[in-house]
Amino acid sequence: MLMITDEKIEQYNRDGFVFIENALTSTQLQSMQSATARLIAESARITKSNDQYDLDTNHTSANPRLTRIKLPHLLDPIFNQVLKSEQILGLLRPLLGTDNIRLHTSKLNTKEPDGGQAVEWHQDWAFYPHTNDDLLAVGILLEDVDEENGPLQVIAGTHRASVLDHSSNGVFCGAIDPADPLFDQSKAVSLTGKAGSLSIHHVRTLHGSAPNNSDRARKILFYECGAADAWPLNGSSSTYTGMSQETIWSEMQARIISGEQPKQARLANVPVLMPVPPPPDATSIFKVQESGGAVSAFAES
């Protein structure tokens, strides 16, 4: 079982991110790679994005291209097994400071070769503020990631700074303005490494990634999790939007991956900007940024 060192915990608390090499066994990695290949192949039969797949612009049945597989932990048991494995929970418990942990969402960003889309700079917290900010994203590298294939980039210390404005023309666009004086791209750090490694970033850490201009895919599986006493704020772009109170309660319990869902909501003194007014299409971050009119920090000059 993988244990997290005190040094890594300190680094996470100080910088808002940490990178851990060789976090998975080769069997886990290979099983996840083949499940991913199967799911991508199955997307050949669809022509429009749906609740499982977000299609890239040049997707065809002969050459299926995705930006994302949505909620992979519901689509193949291996993604659920790894999520609930002691390797992952053993990292989450000390970083979140609790045994009670709930999955917020999961996604597998496939960033295809030869132009797979950028993810513009943002803070996850701008999409889904909660009553406290003990939430984070685990990003498992399913392929080797280097500077060429669009690595996740982060800026240290931003998890303790402001929530930046994520709007464009008065609409929530899921990305900061690259000209925002509070944004300093020169401080960006790329999280590169071998398949089977993982990164963890705090929910308020500023992050983004450039287009993939290499001839290799860059597939990263994200598990976004939090302390179960962090309750989502109503009105945010939530996993729980449009549900009855009864459904919300059972969904929250179903997403518990360690311990239990307490009734208590722990309130922390955290800055919150609600993601409103919503953009025309909020079905994935790619659609939010596109339809909300986000200005690209990665456009070729």
Ligand X SMILES: O=C(O)CCC(=O)C(=O)O
Decide the pairing of beta strands 152-155 and 171-172: unpaired
The contact mask relative to ligand X for 93-112 (x = CB under 6 A, - = no) is: --------------x-x---
Question: What binding mask, one character per residue, do residues 22-61 give for ligand X by CB under 6 A, x or -?
Answer: ----------------------------------------
Of 54, 36, 66, 46, the residue nearest 284 (C-alpha) = 54
Is the link from the previous residue into 278 a cis peptide, with omega within 30 of 0?
no
CB of 99 to ligand X, least distance (A): 26
Q: Which is nearer to ligand X, 100 or 292 (CB)?
A: 292
Shorter beta-carbon distance to ligand X: residue 100 or 217: 217
Binding of ligand X by 209 (CB under 6 A):
yes
Among 4, 91, 96, 152, binds ligand X (CB under 6 A): 152
C-alpha 160 chain-centroid distance:
19
Site string (222-261) toward ligand X, x via CB under 6 A:
----------------------------------------
Closest C-alpha to 230, from 91, 106, 104, 137: 104
Q: Is 186 left (phi over 0), alpha (psi -120 to 50) or beta?
A: alpha
Least distance to ligand X, CB of residue 152, Å: 5
Give me the least distance between CB of 260 and ligand X, in Å please: 27
Contacting ligand X (CB under 6 A), which of 23, 195, 285, 288?
285
From the list 10, 2, 234, the residue with the least C-alpha distance to 130 is: 234
Shortest distance (Å) from residue 19 CB to ligand X: 14
Angle of helix 6-15 relative to helix 86-96, nearest 10 degrees, comes to 60
Least distance between ligand X and beta carbon 80 (Å): 19
Quote the tokens at residue 59.
Answer: 């997707």
Q: Are strands 66-70 and 53-55 parallel, antiparallel or unpaired?
A: antiparallel
Q: Using the rule CB under 6 A, is 159 a contact of ligand X?
A: no
Residue 149's CB: how many other CB atoms inside 10 A? 24
- Least separation in angstroms between residue 3's CB and ligand X is 27
Rounded distance, CA 34 to CA 48, Å?
A: 23
Contacting ligand X within 188-207 (CB under 6 A): 207
Applying CB under 6 A, the residues found at the interface with ligand X are: 107, 109, 119, 124, 152, 207, 209, 220, 285
